[in-house]
Structure 1
Amino acid sequence: MLKSATPEATKLYSKKYETLNYEHLGQTNLSVSQAGFGGYRVHISVDEHRQALEYALTHGINLIDTSSNYANGGSEELIGAAFKNLSEEKKLKRDEIVIVSKVGYLQGQNFQLSQQLKQQGKPFPDLVEYGSGLEHCIHPDFLADQLTRSLNRLQMKTIDVYLLHNPEYYLLWAHKQGMDLEEARTEYYRRIEQAFMQLEIEVQNGRIQFYGISSNTFPIPSKHYDFTSLEKVWDIAESISKNHKFRVVQMPMNLFETGAATEPNLSDNQSPLKFAEIKKIAVLVNRPLNAFSGNHMKRLVTLETSVEFDQDALQEKFSQIVNMESDFVSNILPVLNADEDTQKKFSGYFSSGSYLSTNWQKLGPYWQWIESQALFLTDQISHAVQQVNDLPDKSKETIKWLDDYVELFNTLLGYLTLYLGEKISKENKIHFDKIKDINKVLNKCESLQELALSALLNSDGVTTTLVGMRRKEYVQDVLNILKQSKINLPKDFWINTNKQ
């Protein structure tokens, strides 16, 4: 088992990387890199993720953010394994690195645990049964249980910063129940106070050093039902002890979601960022490159396409695949050695091209298409082809049709990916140019992601920006941005950005 981060060791670590800038993590006296390794989508089973994490830790990034529910515990397991490896190779000491983890969600294995406890008549108290496969809890019993599990996965004695993870799920649930707002908020902050008292005990027991809250609703208007007041939770911590260890918060902030800096939702019209700065609360920013705008997620990156989209060519491919699917129904399906129900399934599977031909302009956005929609369609077609291949007594015509269909379908997906990529590229360029026009100090930024990160790295009140770095090249890109000289960001930068 390894130790915990110390002010002395983290300061010495920072001295090894003089081209990078480091910040004090609020009143913890720990020195942390301005960019942190975001552990949201990393898993111990993926060697590429381990390589990226180890590269980051040995090149100047010394804060890692994870959670008990990230990759169903696989994220914490990866971090524990990476630390053990680097420690054994004497490339890294535990006291140089700041570990942030979070607690609150019951998904995956935690959800299954909750169901088992219910069946035994011993459910977690104050459980928020939010939806199918998703529950939430910040009761002391749950916190103690989850902290033990996280420490085991991390192979550590102490987590440096332990955050309540989106406790506003209680408010979202209460709103669905039609509960009076004041009644809901009274109960909400009672639960947070109860959780804080447990976390203070965990500090005394040496299992955590500091604690806080990660909330998506710190930066939203105070009139919203699910608003979480940073001022209120600070007052709760102050009421528990003047020597409390509530020292870190986390919230979203990016070029589209600017509320952390611009929303005057606290007393004296202070924004959460300003309040945190005054109280010396460390602020970790998440989603720097993933912004919610309207009902869509926007990826704030410059996407370069080497080939121009050709709509006429796309329409030609649509015509070809619709004809092939018609031929399947008329000539291939009737001679397959399959029962009526199976034939109906095949007919449905091999109608994807016809569906896309009438709905292609409704697809997207680009990243959703890449990460889910296109993969789903590919898996569906692969499954259908395999099922047909498993049938006995197939004709040569059937085998040739399957081969031709797969080739044409993959070509079609390529055209659609190009279309959506070009579309998002144009949209992001417009926003990129607007931001640069109103803030000349960022003119040197060559991409939207560089601009988005540079703005956060140079914003008063932001301690560390958490970035997903699942590949070594992503880590290198972030390190290059970190090495750039400090920018004197105008005081009204985020206000002007918000107006765009």
Structure 2
Amino acid sequence: MSHATLEDTYNFAKKFSHYKDFYTKSNGLIFSKLGLGTFNKEPYKEENYVFHYIEGVKEAVRQGINLIDTASNYRYGQSEKEIGEALGELFEAGEAKREELIICSKGGFIQLDYPFPENPYTWIEENLIKTGFATKEDIELDQHCMTPDFVEWSCKRSIENLGVDNLDIYYLHNPEMQLMRLGEKAFYKQIEKIFTRFEKLADEGLFHSYGVAVWNGFTSENSNELISLEKLVECAIKVAGMNHRFKYIQLPFNMGKTAAYTNETQKVDGMPCSVINAAHNLGIGVISSSALLQMNLFKKSFTAETGVILDDSMTLKNDIQLALQFVRSTPGLISSLFGSKVPVHVRENCEISKVKAVKRSKYDLLYRL
């Protein structure tokens, strides 16, 4: 079964002259410091279902990005299918190999189908309840489910949609949605069940590593949705020992949402710390999402001081590139995901690969502005 390998991801990076500063090693793979995300807001808009990610995905790979991230519910499976088409075209043309690319998806949200079902409640009844994947009580707000059977089913659908043999990373998607309903004790018991199933699926070759992707789950000031990373690692160790495959977390991080780096929302061995520091101490890799905050960062221009700190060479030409340079330079992040469908925008974003990352001493000055 084909999956990303150290040798092939390293060889991919070496195709690009700037590879030494734009790639990093984690858990035996070489990651590009930017990854392509495929989340699209306003999912009910009909225009979101026109095939339009294919050329953007191909351009990202051509520009040196080897991390591609999606989820089963993004545009009700259309994002995965478009990535699959793009990958097929790249492989057939000899422009990339499967082993060079790190392909990730997520399960937890109910993905429904495209075209959108006439009655989503009937769809849920027929596809989840009657099949035994879940009970009505397992489903939160008619959109989220966290049973092992449902997540396994979602994972297999994702692999089929993407047209690959397996995934490199598979995430449990936004489990904080279930924390208040279940209560803390039952929540971590459910995590144990999910991780037990994930270890089995990893043994079967469906994915190489697994993780947890959140929105506010690791940084929330609301205890009803705050997840302890330390407890997640304890769950993984309990079900699989020290050789568990729980290797990554994914969470939003950008110039407007910096809590993962600045706020001490986690504890490790009783000591308060940020989630990025907690992950470092626990041996978990961090991949950030929403690098551009769905373009909500750009309602006014960044200051000249910000521009000088992020790029004293004056190479970067716009605030989008500066925002990507910010996340790419954040200490403790493996890679940062941005969303873009248009090839010319992908090329512009990847121009930051030609600029060196900001050193930490300089980077931290941004938090004083």
TM-score normalised by structure 2 residue count: 0.87
Q: Secondary structure at the match of 1:108?
A: coil
Asked whether the equivalents of residues 211 and 246 of structure 1 are also in contact (C-alpha less than 8 Å), the reply is: yes
2:290 alignment partner AA: R
Comparing 244-253 and 49-58, the one that deviates more: 49-58
Q: Secondary structure at the match of 1:269?
A: strand
Q: Secondary structure at the match of 1:106?
A: coil
Asked whether the equivalents of residues 44 and 74 of structure 1 are also in contact (C-alpha less than 8 Å), the reply is: no
Asked whether the equivalents of residues 77 and 154 of structure 1 are also in contact (C-alpha less than 8 Å), the reply is: yes
Identify which of 306, 310, 313 aligns with 1:436: 306
Residue number in structure 2 paired with 1:129: 139
Using a 3 Å threshold, how does the CA distance of structure 1 residues 44 and 232 change in structure 2: closer, same or farther?
Answer: same
2:9 alignment partner AA: T
Residue number in structure 2 paired with 1:162: 170
Residue number in structure 2 paired with 1:299: 296
1:170 alignment partner AA: Q
2:46 equivalent to 1:49: no
User: Mapping of 1:12-411 within 5 angstroms?
Assistant: 12-20=11-19, 21-25=22-26, 27=27, 29-41=28-40, 46=50, 48-109=52-113, 113-117=123-127, 120=130, 122=132, 124-125=134-135, 127-131=137-141, 134-172=142-180, 174=181, 184-221=183-220, 223-240=222-239, 241-267=241-267, 268-290=271-293, 299-301=296-298
How large is the RMSD of aligned CA atoms in angstroms?
A: 2.6
Structure 1: runs of 5+ lacking an equivalent = 175-182, 292-297, 302-423
2:339 equivalent to 1:468: yes
Using a 3 Å threshold, how does the CA distance of structure 1 residues 23 and 127 change in structure 2: closer, same or farther?
Answer: farther
2:191 alignment partner AA: I
Q: Deviations over 1:90-121 (max 9, x none)?
A: 22111110001000001433955422146748
CA displacement at 1:233 relative to structure 2: 0.6
Using a 3 Å threshold, how does the CA distance of structure 1 residues 120 and 49 change in structure 2: closer, same or farther?
Answer: closer
State the percentage of identical aligned residues. Answer: 27
Residue number in structure 1 paired with 2:44: none
Question: 1:107, 1:239 → 2: CA distance?
Answer: 30
Structure 2: runs of 5+ lacking an equivalent = 42-46
Using a 3 Å threshold, how does the CA distance of structure 1 residues 473 and 441 change in structure 2: closer, same or farther?
Answer: closer
Question: 2:48, 2:208 → 1: CA distance?
Answer: 25
Q: Secondary structure at the match of 1:232?
A: helix
Residue number in structure 1 paired with 2:352: 481
Q: Deviations over 1:50-88 (max 9, x none)?
A: 111111112211010000001110111111111111111
TM-score normalised by structure 1 residue count: 0.65
CA displacement at 1:219 relative to structure 2: 3.8
1:193 alignment partner AA: E
CA displacement at 1:247 relative to structure 2: 0.5
Q: Which has the higher helix share?
A: 1
Question: 1:119, 1:95 → 2: CA distance?
Answer: 37
CA displacement at 1:128 relative to structure 2: 4.0
Question: 1:441, 1:38 → 2: CA distance?
Answer: 23
Highest CA radius of gyration, 1 or 2? 1
How many residue pairs are counted as aligned between the two chains? Answer: 350
Q: Deviations over 1:15-49 (max 9, x none)?
A: 11122411123x2x111111111111399975542
1:269 alignment partner AA: P
Question: 2:318, 2:144 → 1: CA distance?
Answer: 38
CA displacement at 1:123 relative to structure 2: 5.4
